[in-house]
Structure 1
Amino acid sequence: MSPTGPTWRTDITTVNGSDYILTTSCDATKFTLNFLIIIIGLVGLAGNVTVLWLLGFHMSKNAFSVYIFNLAGADFLFLCFNVIHSIHVIISIFNSIFISRFFNVLFNFAYLASLSMLSAMSTELCVSALWPIWYHCRRPRHTAAVMCALLWALSLLLSILQGEACSIFFNVFSHGWCEKLDSIIFAWLIVLFVVLIGSSLALLLRVFCGSHRIPMTRLFVTIALTVLVFLLFGLSYGINWFPLDRIENFYRVFPCNVYEMSAFLSCVNSCANPIIYFLVGSIRHHRFQCQTLRLFLQRAMQDTHEEEEVGEQCYSGKSGELETV
Structure 2
Amino acid sequence: MDPTISSHNTEPTPLNETGHPNCSPILTPSFLVLITALVGLAGNSIVLWLLGFHMRRKAISVYILNLALADSFFLCCHFFDSLLRIIDFYGIYAHKLSKDILSSAAIIPYISGLSILSAISTERCLSVLWPIWYHCHRPRNMSAIICTLIWVLSFLMGILEWSFSGFLGETHHHLWKKVNFIITAFLMFLLLLLSGSSLALLLRILCGSRRKPLSRLYVTVFLTVMVYLICGLPLGLYLFLLYWFRAHLHHPFCQIYQVTAVLSCVNSSANPIVYFLVGSFRQLRKHQSLKIVLKKALEDTPEETDFTDSHLQKTTEMSESRC
Provide the TM-score with structure 2 as the length reference: 0.84
Counterpart check, 1:66 vs 2:65: no
* 1:181 maps to which of 171, 179, 182: 179
In structure 1, stretches of 5+ residues that fail to align are 1-8, 16-24, 312-325
Correspondence for 1:216 among 201, 214, 217: 214
Q: Is the 8 A contact 2:77 2:102 kept in 1?
A: yes
Deviations 1:145-170 (A, max 9, x none): 00000000100110111124543678
Q: Distance in 2 between matches of 1:268 and 1:182?
A: 25
Task: Single out whichever of 197-206 and 238-247 deviates more from structure 2.
Answer: 238-247
Query: Residue 77 and residue 168 in structure 1: after superposition, are their counterparts in 2 closer, same or farther (change >3 A)?
Result: closer
The structure whose Rg is larger is 2
Does the Cα contact within 8 Å between 1:47 and 1:275 map onto a contact in 2? Answer: yes
Aligned length: 290
Q: Map Cα deviations across residues 247-298 of structure 1 (whole Å, 9 max, x no partner).
A: 56562372533322111000000110000000000012x7543321111100
Q: For residue 140 of structure 2, what is the aligned residue in structure 1?
A: 141
Matched, 1:55 2:51: yes
Which stretches in structure 2 are left out of the alignment for 5+ residues? 12-22, 311-323
Residues 181, 244 of structure 2: 8 Å contact kept = no
Amino acid across the alignment from 1:93 = F
Which of 28, 31, 56 aligns to 1:32? It is: 28
Alignment deviations for residues 108-151 of structure 1 (CA, whole Å, 9 cap, x no partner):
01111111111111111111111111111111000000000000
Distance of 1:250 and 1:207 partners within structure 2: 46
For the aligned residue pairs, the C-alpha RMSD in angstroms reads 2.3
* Residue identity (%): 46
Contact 1:64–1:301 (Cα < 8 Å) also in 2: yes
Asked if the contact 1:104–1:163 (Cα under 8 Å) also holds between the matched residues in 2, the reply is: no
Map of 1:192 onto structure 2: 190
Question: Which position in structure 2 is the counterpart of 1:116?
Answer: 115
**50 and 12 in structure 1: CA distance in 2 versus 1, 3 angstrom threshold:** closer
> Structure 1: which amino acid aligns with 2:301?
T
Segments ≥4 residues shifted beyond 4 Å: 168-172, 247-250
Please say if residues 35 and 86 of structure 1, whose CA atoms lie closer than 8 Å, have aligned partners that are also in contact: yes
Q: Helix, strand or coil: the match of 1:215?
A: coil
- Please give the secondary structure, in 1, of the residue aligned with 2:304: coil
